[in-house]
Amino acid sequence: MYDVYYTTGGGPWVNAGTDLWVNDFLENVVPHLKVRPVLLIHRTKPKGFEDFEFPIETHWQGDNVGEFEKICDEARRINILHGHYTPMKAIVNNKDKIHSNILHNSVDHILKSQAGTDARIGWHPWLDSKWEMDVNEWATHSIWVGLFDILIKNEVINNYYEFKHNLPLSKSNTIGFAARCEGRKNPHYLENLKCFIFTNSFEFNTFWKNGVGGNYDKAKIYHYYGNFKDKFYDMDWGISHSAFTSEPFGYGIFEAVDRGKLPILHSTWCKDFEYPYRVSSKKEFIDIYNKVCNDTYETKNYWFNKIKNYMIDNYSNKQLWIDSLLNIYNI
């Protein structure tokens, strides 16, 4: 007897916060599961990681599609750690076995996040709102990790962030952007600004620089490689463009603060928390950035410490996160 834990990434494939979540699950939750877990990754194994060792039995869909689907068919339960946002045969054929589904974002919120904004494109690939609704109807437990309310019925198990760097606030007023470049991350706010950008450079240049025709001549763009992250954060920048629309949790926001960067937030993120550096448009972003530059270091440091303490007080309980998930998986 075994339970399937189905995901789209993790292990050596880390492209988003969802993949970090999966790796955290493998390290901290898996050792306490009562029924044998089998990890299924619905993706082709990335080149160069053939020898990567997972802590549990793992299968990549691209290695053997038939075997992948057979493992789903013969499982006791299926737990979706992070699913594709469009219909998948392995899930449809086993909808009666779906014990849990982790909601890392709400497709409905993503699709609506660019409506009425100043973004010239709303690029969000492979999203199907009906599919999200179907999966959550099939699942016995729908678990929402985010910090705002969504329309889908759910049980809330918020993500957590473990502060490891605890760097003091940088004195630099240069902006940095470390995120994917999809529409709701609002990379267009950085047009005509001196800044450092750490993202998928191919997608950024295709959609935002060449496609839309934005002016990023003052930006230094670095392609995202996991082993370059420390070097990027060590560069001389101190203001983080963290103004992401409908950001469910925001690992990148937490990490920016952990590494001594002052975030400019979107007006929708943890909106009950009092914070002066919030925006909801490109114009507001420019205005707030100028305000940040003109504020004294003491003022900025006050708000930096206030948001850091808020994060630690509310979203750093690792054991609570582990126990809450085990209460679902070990039922």
pTM of this prediction? Answer: 0.90
| pLDDT tens sequence across 136-186 | 899 999 999 999 888 787 899 999 999 999 999 999 999 999 999 988 899
In percent, the amount of the chain with pLDDT more than 90 equals: 71
pLDDT band at 120, cuts 50/70/90?
Answer: low
CA distance 46 to 186: 28
| Residue 118 pLDDT > 70 | no
- Spatial CB neighbours of 75, under 8 Å, sequence gap ≥ 6: 2, 3, 4, 38, 94, 97
Comparing CA positions, the residue from 91, 90, 75 lying closest to residue 38 is: 75
The secondary structure of 244-312 as a DSSP string is -TT-SS-HHHHHHHHTT-EEEEETTTTTTS--S-EESSHHHHHHHHHHHHHS-HHHHHHHHHHHHHHHH
| pLDDT tens sequence across 318-328 | 999 999 999 99
* Domains in the chain with CATH codes: 3-159+317-329 (3.40.50.2000), 175-315 (3.40.50.2000)
Average pLDDT over residues 21-48: 93
| Residue 199 pLDDT > 90 | yes
pLDDT band at 285, cuts 50/70/90?
Answer: very high
Average pLDDT over residues 252-260: 98
